[in-house]
């Protein structure tokens, strides 16, 4: 996992209200208390320069301990957009199983008993960003469950790739798209507390039909061209 360089490192979570929470990041350690009815807590560490040296994050409260290994400091770009920007839990599970197989093989070679080997990862064991109770029919469920869940995290910027459906003739409303695009970017910058947060737009080729000498004039006024122009802000 990569944590953003040159910006304060904020870590937060939830515990039983009133409980003490200890957070250790690399060689640094701090303590706080879970506050409010929901038991939310938050700590910050000073900004760090880029480093490939792995650090460990350990969070302890009461009898519960959460550990994360191999954290490095660099640039964090958040990917956002349509379906081909997704990264499914199945893909993450496959990676975790591959790591588990290597770890189990090493443990067996060391003579570790079968009942002492780490459990095989499953989809249920992967932490999700989804917000409980959000209905898929809720217009904001994608944002709240996939993007807004980590707002406040310090990042480098956002890369956005979207627009195919908006370029279709029946949906092509470039003036409205430009307004919504501007509002979306402003919302991201507000969520991540960075008025100058970089936002990159990955261009797309709506229609998938190459222009030729015969159809150049027809496709030069396709919806895709209007949407691409709207994304320029």
- What is the pairing mode between strands 157-161 and 199-201? parallel
Reduced to 3 states (helix: H, G, I; strand: E, B; else coil), residue 194 is coil
Give the per-residue pLDDT at 8: 94
Specify the pLDDT at position 85.
72
What pLDDT is recorded for position 29? 97
| Residues 59/127, Cβ–Cβ less than 8 Å | no
The reported pLDDT for the residue numbered 146 is 73
Q: What is the pLDDT of residue 138?
A: 59
pLDDT in the model for residue 132: 46
- pLDDT value of position 133: 46
**pTM check: above 0.75:** no
Q: What is the DSSP-derived secondary structure letter of residue 143?
A: I
CA 201 – CA 232 distance, rounded (Å): 8
Radius of gyration of the chain (CA): 23
* The pLDDT value given to residue 91: 75
Residue 100's alpha-carbon distances to 3, 54, 89, 115, in angstroms, are 24, 19, 16, 15
Encoding tokens for residue 85? 């920007």
Cβ atoms of 8 and 154 within 8 Å: the answer is: yes
Name the DSSP class of 130.
P
Alpha carbon distances (Å) from 176 to 5, 47, 182, 187, 226: 36, 39, 10, 16, 11
| Contacts for 118-123: CB closer than 8 Å, 24+ residues apart | 121/93, 121/96, 121/97, 122/93, 123/89, 123/90, 123/93
Spell out the residues 6+ positions from residue 56 whose beta carbon is closer than 8 angstroms to its own.
Answer: 24, 25, 26, 67, 68, 69, 70, 71
pLDDT along the chain (233 residues), means of 10: 94 94 97 93 96 96 93 93 71 85 92 90 66 53 74 90 75 86 92 92 67 66 76 81
Helix (H) or strand (E) holding 81: strand 77-81
Q: Which residues of 175-194 are buried (b: 16+ CB within 10 A; e: fewer)?
A: eebbeebeebbeebbebbee
Domains of the chain plus CATH, in order, are 1-74 (2.60.40)
Partners of 68 in beta bridges: 57
């Amino acid at each position: 996992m990569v944590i953003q360089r040159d910006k304060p490192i904020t870590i937060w979570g939830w515990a039983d209200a009133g409980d003490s929470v200890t957070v250790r990041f690399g060689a640094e350690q701090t303590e706080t208390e879970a506050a409010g009815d929901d038991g939310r807590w938050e700590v910050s560490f000073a900004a760090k320069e880029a480093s490939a040296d792995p650090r460990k994050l350990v969070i302890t409260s009461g009898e519960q301990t959460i550990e994360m290994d191999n954290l490095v400091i660099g640039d964090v770009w958040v990917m956002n957009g349509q379906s081909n920007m997704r990264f499914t839990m199945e893909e993450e599970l496959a990676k975790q199983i591959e790591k588990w197989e290597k770890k189990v093989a090493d443990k067996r070679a060391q003579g570790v008993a079968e009942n002492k080997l780490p459990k095989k990862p499953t989809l249920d064991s992967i932490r999700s960003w989804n917000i409980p109770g959000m209905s898929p029919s809720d217009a904001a469920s994608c944002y709240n469950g996939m993007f807004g869940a980590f707002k406040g995290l310090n990042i480098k910027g956002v890369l956005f790739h979207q627009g195919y459906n908006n370029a279709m003739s029946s949906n092509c409303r470039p003036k409205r798209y430009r307004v919504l695009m501007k509002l979306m970017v402003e919302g991201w910058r507000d969520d991540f507390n960075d008025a100058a947060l970089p936002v990159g737009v990955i261009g797309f080729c709506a229609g998938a039909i190459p222009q030729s000498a015969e159809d150049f004039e027809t496709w030069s006024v396709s919806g895709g061209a209007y949407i691409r122009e709207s994304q320029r802000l």
